[in-house]
Amino acid sequence: MRLGGAERFVLDMALALRTTGWDAHIWVSEHHTTQTFPEARDGRVPVHAASSWIPPGFAGRPRRGLMLARLRLLLREIARRTGPPALFVVDDPVHIAAWIRRRWPHVPILVHCNYPNAALPPPANAVHRWYRARLDRLNAEALAAASEVTAISAFSRAAIQRIWPQFASWAVPVLHPGVAMPGSAALRPPGPEGTILCVSRLDPSKRPDLAIAAFGQLRGMLPAEHFARCRLVLAGGLDVRHGLAGYPQTLMKQAGEAGVAGQVDLRANANEETLARLWAGASVFMHTAPEEHFGIVLIEAMSRALPVLAVNAAGPKEIVVDGVTGALRPFDPDAFATVLAGWMRDPAAARQAGAAGRTRAAEFFSTARFQRNFLTVVEALLARAV
């Protein structure tokens, strides 16, 4: 278990159950005790790991087949060390639900979906098509085995029902994640504007290269003395097992080619204390993933009264109100740089958007709201199972 949006979401599920008297435990393939959330370290939520000896991928890429092998061993370990639970909550990858149903036919299973692989672009070759077809069938079996299916966003729910029409008649409640709202003391004090923060996995799929390209374009949109006060901070997890050990160097090379390397700060695998300082020092937040299924980090930024700039697609469209709490733009460096330049020239407008974002986060995306919605789903599921 690491520091990440998906991990935070699962922890909040477990905490919601434990606050209502459940003895909720989290089972994972790997648990990184030094790079995880406090609740997973200090015993507030027991976390158990198994099958970490199986690598998550090879040839520099994660592999779904190896991930499923890890899950099979994880399920075997659960069966060996515990009795039949009263409820299973399954997060991504959801394929394990079909195996749970075969082993424990009468246990209620709540399957929470992020985004189905079958909705991704089709494979390029016959071998990969065969491989994906098998995984997609197992994904459909997992959903069919569920007692209840929820989705992280309306975007993900639409994908599920588009790919598998047999689930179109299912309600599939949307459970947006929530964040704990920081107190006013944790917010950025008034001061010089200019620090653009991106918090995301340092992975090509998250497209941090767009952030650097936009920052390079910003250089030509502001007076030299103004741009000299600007800084781009890229912070997030870096998984060297997936062949990404050299990726920070690739990004810094791009920054050098754009003439902004001296103003770009990369923080790989930053701990909580470092992240807290980075959040406190930021004046705007930029998110560059082109098709984020939801984007819990956007809510984190809004909860800290930061205006949010994100790609106008997928999950962020359910979070950011364009022109009110931030900006949604096409995946284009010029479009992103234009928004950033406007905020740098008019910091009062940026602060106004940040304040509106904090209000929206408190109203729609708080941890308390998520936990109430989650427990409502669980209670209804268990009532039907009686």
The full set of domain ranges for the chain reads 5-178+367-385, 184-364
pLDDT value of residue 131 = 73
> Are 5-178+367-385 and 184-364 in the same CATH fold?
yes
Strand 57-58, strand 61-62: pairing: antiparallel
With a CB cutoff of 8 Å and minimum separation 6, the contacts of 249 are none
Question: What is the pLDDT, as a whole number, of residue 57?
Answer: 53
Q: For 240-254, what is each residue's pLDDT tens digit?
A: 766 788 999 999 999
φ/ψ of 18, rounded to 5, equals: -70, -35
> pLDDT digits over 211-251, tens only?
999 999 999 999 999 999 999 999 998 877 667 889 999 99
Q: What confidence score (pLDDT) does residue 142 get?
A: 87
Question: Distance (Å, rounded) from C-alpha 42 to C-alpha 48?
Answer: 13
Six-digit token string for 197: 């923060």
User: Which residues 6+ apart lie within 8 Å of 108 measured at CB?
Assistant: 86, 87, 88, 147, 148, 381, 382, 385
Strand partners, 322: 326
- Please report the pLDDT score of residue 81 as a whole number: 85
Distance of CA 20 to the CA centre of its chain: 26
Tokens, residue 212: 């650097």
Is the domain defined by 5-178+367-385 classed in CATH 3.40.640.10?
A: no
Integer Cα distance of 28 and 137 in angstroms: 23
Give the model's pLDDT for residue 83: 78
Confidence (pLDDT) at 60:
46
Please give the single-letter amino acid code of residue 104: W
Q: Which contacts qualify for 248-254: CB closer than 8 Å, 24 or more apart?
A: 248/202, 251/202, 251/208, 251/209, 251/212, 254/209, 254/212, 254/213
Strand pairing report for 148-151 and 109-113? parallel
Residue 383 to residues 147, 172, 190, 376, 379, Cα–Cα distance (Å) = 11, 17, 51, 11, 6
Q: If the chain, 386 residues long, is cut into consecutive pieces of 10 residues, what is the mean pLDDT of each piece?
A: 72 92 88 73 84 56 67 85 88 84 92 80 74 80 90 91 83 90 72 84 92 96 95 89 83 95 93 88 95 91 96 95 97 97 94 96 93 94 83
- Is the separation of the CB atoms in 248 and 238 below 8 Å? yes
| Whether 65 contacts 54, CB under 8 Å | no
| Gyration radius (Cα) of the chain, Å | 21
Check residue 26 and report its DSSP letter: E
From the CB of residue 165, how many other CB atoms can be counted at a distance below 10 Å? 8
Block residue for tokens 């098998």: 134
What's the pTM value of the predicted model, to 2 decimals?
0.85
**DSSP strands (E only) in 77-123:** 88-90, 109-113
CATH code for the structural domain at 184-364: 3.40.50.2000
**What pLDDT, on the 0 to 100 scale, is given for residue 353?**
96
Instruction: Output DSSP code: residue 73.
Output: H
